[in-house]
């Protein structure tokens, strides 16, 4: 089933060669080129593509549903959306051949974006680039974000990142919010800001200041930045 009222409807990711999956996961690729497959993934990762699926009335993401997605081309896609999508996905050396074939640059551990803040900003770059490629204005993009993604919008209002750009866990956020005062002090001790990863057991200390992220403002900045870049290249 396609969850059309949740955080997102589609959660695209690049599968390495040889990967198998269960039927609840849907995979797709271009019949023409590897780049075409990545353009499809970048498009599916955008808010506008997710919006297309939401308003289609479809109940799943099988082939006939995926075929309704727009697949734009141009500089905004080739130079911005595709690299952004690759940086979100090429997290390990297993993706080095993909990165190097499509960008003609060497993959290093510095290529992928890893922190919550960096990944959030890269997602906004991708969304702005796709909007420009489709001819969607920034006001329309922001309105779609506000009205069609209420779960995402609300989460953006409450989530916090620390000084290092890492997402602050919900329990620490809740404790901090209760203890914080209007004068902007830092009420939690180091011990209270220490969190153990539930799978690895590795402990992290989240450093003050804790700040929210303004997706609307960042989308506007990204849209303007990309528009200026493209204008200078014409």
pTM of the model: 0.91
Task: Say if residue 23 is in the same domain as residue 93.
Answer: yes
- Whether residue 181 is predicted with pLDDT greater than 80 in this model: the reply is no
Q: What is the reported pLDDT for 173?
A: 95
Domain limits at 168?
160-211
Task: Give yes or no: residues 195 and 113 share one domain.
Answer: no
Percent of all residues in the chain with a pLDDT value above 90, rounded to a whole number: 68
Phi and psi for 211 in degrees, rounded to 5? -135, 150
Do residues 154 and 165 both lie within one domain?
A: no
The predicted-structure confidence for 54-108, as pLDDT tens digits, reads as follows 888 777 777 666 677 777 888 899 999 999 999 999 999 999 999 999 999 999 9
CA angle centred on 202, ends 198 and 203, rounded to 5°: 100
Summarised one tens digit per residue, pLDDT across range 136-176 is 999 999 999 999 999 999 999 999 999 999 999 999 999 99
204, 101: one domain: no
Based on the fold, state whether residues 164 and 223 are members of the same structural domain.
no
pLDDT on residue 31: 81
Q: Are 87 and 60 within one domain? A: yes
Q: Are 143 and 167 contained in the same domain? A: no
Total domain count, the chain: 2
């Amino acid at each position: 089933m396609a969850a059309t009222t949740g955080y997102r409807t589609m959660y695209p990711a690049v599968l390495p060669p040889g990967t198998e999956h269960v039927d609840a996961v849907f995979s797709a690729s271009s019949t023409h080129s590897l780049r075409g497959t990545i353009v499809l993934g970048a498009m599916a990762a955008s808010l506008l593509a997710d919006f297309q699926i939401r308003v289609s009335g479809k109940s799943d993401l099988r082939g006939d549903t995926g075929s309704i997605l727009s697949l734009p081309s141009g500089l905004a896609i080739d130079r911005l959306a595709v690299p952004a999508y690759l940086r979100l996905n090429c997290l390990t050396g297993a993706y080095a051949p993909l990165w190097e074939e499509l960008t003609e640059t060497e993959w290093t551990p510095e290529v992928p974006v890893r922190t919550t803040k960096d990944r959030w900003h890269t997602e906004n770059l991708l969304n702005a680039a796709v909007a420009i490629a489709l001819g969607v204005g920034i006001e329309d993009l922001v309105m779609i974000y506000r009205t069609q993604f209420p779960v995402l919008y609300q989460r953006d209002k409450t989530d916090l990142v620390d000084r290092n750009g890492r997402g602050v866990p919900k329990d620490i956020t809740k404790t901090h919010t209760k203890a914080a005062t209007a004068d902007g002090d830092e009420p939690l001790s180091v011990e209270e800001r220490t969190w153990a990863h539930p799978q690895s057991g590795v402990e992290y200390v989240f450093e003050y200041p804790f700040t929210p992220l303004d997706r609307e403002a960042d989308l506007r900045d990204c849209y303007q930045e990309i528009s200026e870049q493209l204008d200078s290249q014409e």
